[in-house]
Structure 1
Amino acid sequence: MPTKRLLLCLLLLPAAAHAAVDDGAARYQQALDAAYAHYRLPGIAVGVIEDGKVAYTGARGELAAGEGVPVDADTLFKIASNTKAMTAAVLARLVQAGRLRWDDPVTRHLPQFRMHDPWVTAHMQVRDLLIHNSGLGLGAGDLMLWPEPNHFSREDIIAGLAHLKPVGSFRADYAYDNLLYVVAGEVAAAAGGKPYAQLLREEIFEPLGMARCQAGQWSPAAVGNVARPHRREAARNIPAAADPARVDDFPSMAAGGVRCSLNDMLRWMQVLLDPQQAPGWLDATQRRALWTAHMPMPVGQRQRDWDNTHFHAYGYGWRLSDMDGQWKVAHTGTLSGMYSSLALLPDRRSGAVILINGEAEDARTVLMQALLKQQTRPGAGLDVAYYAGLLEREAAQRHAGGHGPVPLPQGVPATVAGFGADAGVWADPWFGQVALCPAGDGITFASEKSPAMHGRVVLADGRPWVRWQGIGEDADAWLEFTGDGPERRLHLRAIDPGIDFSYDFQDLEFSRVGDCR
């Protein structure tokens, strides 16, 4: 009898294991379906890795809402700031090849590089470009990157850094930035002897088999299956205009310009989790450098409450923390109507990735929590509905405390006669010229290098503000004039204090340089 029972157990094992795998995949699919429905997303692709193997992939929705072409595992999405980890990996490959060192001064590779403080210029190392410790304010200079498209070059960005005043001490505090990742891409190009996008293809995409990832110049028509960003408008997903026939190698590529598919991102994750997936691609020293805690970050209350987090830090292109007692390596990406999230649990050789082609900050947060909790706290019932409820209660508390979105002031169009001598051409040292000039009976604001930043000037109780026509109204800004004569200055101040940090109006200071033409 014991022998028969043992035989029966052995015969049942494969079926039981298969049932367990199917059950896990079903839970991941339930999470995807719940997030897709709850947040009414235009399109989404999700993948999960368990113990080094792809355990689940799923996709829902359309490339462009209303057009009927479905998202799948090969659809290209903007991964936005998840590009930063790839930029760091390119540099790690160059360090491994002996082409540069992490502690090289940036000026060794880019002699034209300047920060506002000459001491910082001299002491800024390659590693500092990646860990948000420059002393610049949150998102400083991002108006040279977004909104897109614009006419700023990489040379403009590097030159502009010298005019951005620090708000803290070098290497003292964490403040997220994008400009220094653009510099990091140029350091890679100088050390590698090739353009950044070419290095990305040769050092990352080709050796790892990430066949559909795109960087630099490429043709959407030739590549095909490309998701379009969406904005939310009256509970509807409105697709952005289709990509041009040729996507150019735009300046912010190294900070957030890569597009990849779900299958590409799963391959990226597998190689990061298991060196044997790509032997020799990156040695143990450089892998450890990427995931070392180089810059402390604050631990938020939500992290404490949701994940029992005790530490939080930035590595090279990655955020590092602990989640339910397990090591977590992660990043997110947000860019013009596309959201991404990638999280790894290295000790489990597991992780998840989410790609969404809509405005989906809450959806991304909730779904990633639900996916990871199936591995860190299985059976606890911490699903999409649970986390969505927590976020909705947080939002309700903010609104009750008067911290909701700020309504736009009532106003009337500014007139040429009423605007007076402040009409004219104004210039900022890094942002360039803007024109506050007559258009019909009114006054318009128009940026020379950032065409999307144009709008009509409106007066509310005599106070001027810009109602943007090229970007969302949540970025509308007051125009504030100070001083007299040669000391007259123009500043922009966000009307809504909850504005996206990339609208770094606080870093602008315009001087009048001429009359309207």
Structure 2
Amino acid sequence: MRRMGLIALSMLATAAHAAPTLDSLFDETFARYRLPGLAVGVVENGKVVYARTAGETRAGSGEKIDADTLFKIASNSKAMTAATLARLVDAGRLSWTDKVTRHLPTFRMADPWVTREIQLRDLLIHNSGLRAGAGDLMLWPEPNAFTRADVLAGLAYLKPAYSFRSRYDYDNLLYIVAGEVGAAAGGASYEALVRREVFEPLGLARCRVGEFRRDDVGNVAQPHMRKDDRNVVIREDGAVIPEIASAAAGGIRCSLNDMLTWTRAWLDPATSDARSAGASGKPWLSRAQREAVWTAQMPMGLGARQRAWDKAHYSAYGYGWRLSDVDGTQKVSHTGTLAGMYSVLTLLPEKNVGFVVLINGDGGEARTVLNQALVKRYSAPDEGVDIAKLADELARDRGPAAAQKPTEGKREPVRPRDARAWTGVYEDAWFGSVSICPEGRKVIFAAQKSPRLKGAVLRVGERLLVDWDDASVDAEPWLDFTAADEAQPMTLALSHVDPEADFSYDYPDLAFKWVGACKASRRTSR
């Protein structure tokens, strides 16, 4: 009886630390973070063992999210771009070591040596020497009027922050260049190329890239933000969803079903190869190129949380994938982040497991904890890691003051008569022109090619900032003017009010010069 009692206690202890169920992880995440919509799927041993959705495509609409709902997958598009290029390498149309100028003769970086030496592989592994997010204001916030030609031209004016190939720093613009290299070598636009090389052979029937009519496709999730303690739609799609410059870096949309098919294609090559081989009998992607995209190409920093949560020993970037280890097993993963849209795809190849999370709201922390709980469910099931435990750890890491932004003091709109010394039209070599001009009783900052970057100039103490009209543009800039003299016009530099702002608001890369006066206003301003 004593032995039976010990066995019972052991069983209770084991049960107490058992991995939580997939449903419990889903339910707790959805409820805790009050998400507008959530889609989660799991593949084990080549089969979809879990696919569940909740919420609405548009909060309050009654239109339920299902496994065919289209989400923006954001930077998970990068793996699809890399796969497209890998297919062209298999076809002999490209080599990873091709010089970029071989395919794009007019391509230029700020450093002529880098222009000559940069290879296709460099475009994919974040080693350019540019600061994180350099030039991203040509891509986001959407919509804007920047084209891929603008992106390629603008790169010549983005000054490096570090030496070429010396360190990892995340960038998006060079993925757009990679997409254009593929288009040149593949004989089709980037959009047509991805459809031909990825969507069609793998049967990703709902995935979309480029222009499409929203209502013809249907079932499209809209992004949300939290406002007044509720989910509010931001940057809602119009009737026609346009082709965008950022497609190769983060512009693809897919459903949960599509992403699970994509997951199976990587975990179970035989299945994807059988699906796509057709008359040629060739696999969708060769073993050599599968290995290439999952080979560590550029070391990444290993943070304290990654060491603690994953017991990780390394972190690196491959071609469109992040590579690391967790509890002694390989992890291949990537996240996707756009305003009001979050995604993550994680593979544990040695365990033949993969999972997808798609969110159409303010879901940064929800994505982090849910993905980590899913990882630990398979890498260390005896630890019994759940959503509450991970969320509490993140809260402790933030500390008591993290929930509040630093106060900037009293904000007062600048009156036009007090701004005469610095109003006018300013030009930046890659971003183009902005006007800082009177409108009624305010002074308004407005970017010519990025209409969401518009707002009133406010004075805070001795400093000036812009309060953007669009609440979804959540990174305010300080404005710092230098006085003009006979030799030089007035200049303007921007910097982040919140030092933790998303790096895609790359204000430090802007260098404006005054080029002209404001047009005369029809109204008298005081």
Q: Aligned-pair distance for 1:242?
A: 3.7
Aligned equivalent of 1:226, options 198, 209, 220: 220
Q: For residues 137-191 of structure 1, what are the alpha-carbon distances to aligned partners after superposition, in whole Å with 9 as ceiling and x for unaligned?
A: 0100000000000011100000000000000010010000000011111111110
Question: Secondary structure at the residue paired with 1:474?
Answer: coil
Deviations 1:109-157 (A, max 9, x none): 1111100000000000000000000000010000000000001110000
**Contact 2:223/2:233 (<8 A) preserved:** yes
Query: What is the SS of the residue equivalent to 1:433?
Result: strand
Q: How does 1:71-470 map to 2 (within 5 A)?
A: 71-240=65-234, 242-279=236-273, 280-396=283-399, 399=402, 404-470=404-470
CA distance in 2, matches of 1:453, 1:306: 38
- What is the CA-CA distance between 1:55 and the residue it aligns to? 1.3
Higher deviation after alignment, 405-414 or 345-354: 405-414
Name the structure 2 match of 1:11.
none
Query: What is the CA deviation profile of residues 448-505 of structure 1, one whole-angstrom value per residue up to 9, with x for unaligned ones?
Result: 0111100001112242211111354631111101243225210111111011110000
Aligned mates of 2:491, 2:194 — CA distance in 1: 42
**Counterpart secondary structure, 1:55:** strand
Counterpart code for 2:415:
T
Q: Is the 8 A contact 2:422 2:490 kept in 1?
A: no
Which position in structure 2 is the counterpart of 1:67? 61
Question: What's the RMSD between the two structures over aligned residues?
Answer: 1.4
Mapped partners of 2:288, 2:400: distance in 1: 46
User: Does the 8 Å CA contact 1:452/1:471 hold for their aligned counterparts?
Assistant: no
Question: Is the contact between residue 453 and residue 471 of structure 1 (CA under 8 Å) also seen in structure 2?
Answer: no
Stretches of structure 1 that go unaligned for 5 or more consecutive residues are: 1-22
The structural deviation recorded for 1:238 is 0.3
- Give distance in 1, aligned partners of 2:244 and 2:391: 36
Is the 8 Å Cα contact of residues 133 and 295 (structure 1) preserved in structure 2? yes
Tell me what 1:507 maps to. 509
Deviation of residue 420 (structure 1)?
1.8
Contact 2:411 2:460 in 1 (8 A): yes
Q: Give, in angstroms, the shift of residue 278 of structure 1.
A: 2.1
Q: Which amino acid aligns with 1:441?
A: R
What is the CA-CA distance between 1:100 and the residue it aligns to? 1.0
Local SS of the residue matching 1:255: helix
Alpha-carbon separation, structure 2, partners of 1:374 and 1:462? 53
Match of residue 489 from structure 1: 491
Contact 2:39 2:359 in 1 (8 A): yes
CA distance in 2, matches of 1:409, 1:231: 25
Q: Counterpart of 2:183 in structure 1: which amino acid?
A: A
Residue 404 of structure 1 and its aligned partner are, at CA, apart by 5.0
Code of the residue aligned with 1:289 in structure 2: it is A
Q: Is the 8 A contact 2:37 2:65 kept in 1?
A: yes
- 1:40-51 pair list within 5 angstroms: 40-51=34-45
Q: Which moved more, 1:110-119 or 1:486-495?
A: 486-495
8 A Cα contact 2:179 2:248, kept in partner: yes
Distance 2:117 2:441 in 1: 53
Separation in structure 1 between the aligned mates of residue 260 and residue 409 of structure 2, nearest angstrom: 47
Tell me the equivalent position of 1:18: none
Counterpart of 1:460, as a letter, is V
Q: Which amino acid is the alignment partner of residue 480 of structure 1?
A: D
Separation in 1, partners of 2:363, 2:44: 25
Deviations 1:236-291 (A, max 9, x none): 10013542111111100000000000000000010111110122000000000100
Distance 2:125 2:409 in 1: 39
Q: 1:348 deviation in Å?
A: 1.4
1:458 and 1:398 map into 2 onto residues whose CA distance is 25
Q: Tell me the alpha carbon deviations over residues 320-363 of structure 1, each in whole angstroms, 9 at most, x when there is no partner.
A: 00001000000000012000001000111111110000011100
TM-score (norm 1): 0.93
Residue in structure 2 matched with residue 15 of structure 1 by the alignment: none
Q: Summarize deviations over 1:5-48 as a string: whole Å, max 9, x none.
A: xxxxxxxxxxxxxxxxxx98x81111001100000000000001
Distance 2:401 2:153 in 1: 40
Inter-partner Cα distance in structure 2 for 1:398 and 1:48: 37
User: Aligned partners of 1:493, 1:415: CA distance in 2, in Å?
Assistant: 22
Q: Deviations over 1:415-465 (max 9, x none)?
A: 111112211000000000000111012211000011110000111224221
TM-fit CA distance, 1:392: 1.3
1:288 & 1:398 partners in 2: Cα distance?
A: 45
Q: Secondary structure at the match of 1:278?
A: helix
Is 1:52 aligned with 2:55?
no
Query: What one-letter code is carried by the residue in structure 2 that aligns with 1:65?
Result: A
Q: Deviation at 1:407? A: 3.1
Runs of 4+ in 1 over 4 A off after TM superposition: none
Contact 1:436 1:445 (8 Å CA) reproduced = yes
Partner amino acid, structure 1, of 2:103: H
TM-score by length of 2: 0.91
Once residues 433 and 86 of structure 1 are traced to their aligned partners in structure 2, the CA distance between those partners, rounded to angstroms, is 34
Uncovered stretches (5+) of structure 2, i.e. residues with no partner: 1-17, 274-282, 520-526
User: Does the residue aligned with 2:427 lie in a helix, a strand or coil?
Assistant: strand
Instruction: Please identify, of 412-421 and 27-36, the stretch whose mean Cα deviation from structure 2 is larger.
Output: 412-421
Q: CA deviation at 1:68?
A: 1.2
State the alpha-carbon separation in 2 of the partners of residues 261 and 304 from structure 1. 32
Q: Is the 8 A contact 2:321 2:332 kept in 1?
A: yes
8 Å CA contact retained: 1:129, 1:180:
yes
Which AA in structure 1 matches 2:499? P
Q: 1:322 to 1:503 in 2, by over 3 A?
A: same
Q: Helix, strand or coil: the match of 1:390?
A: helix
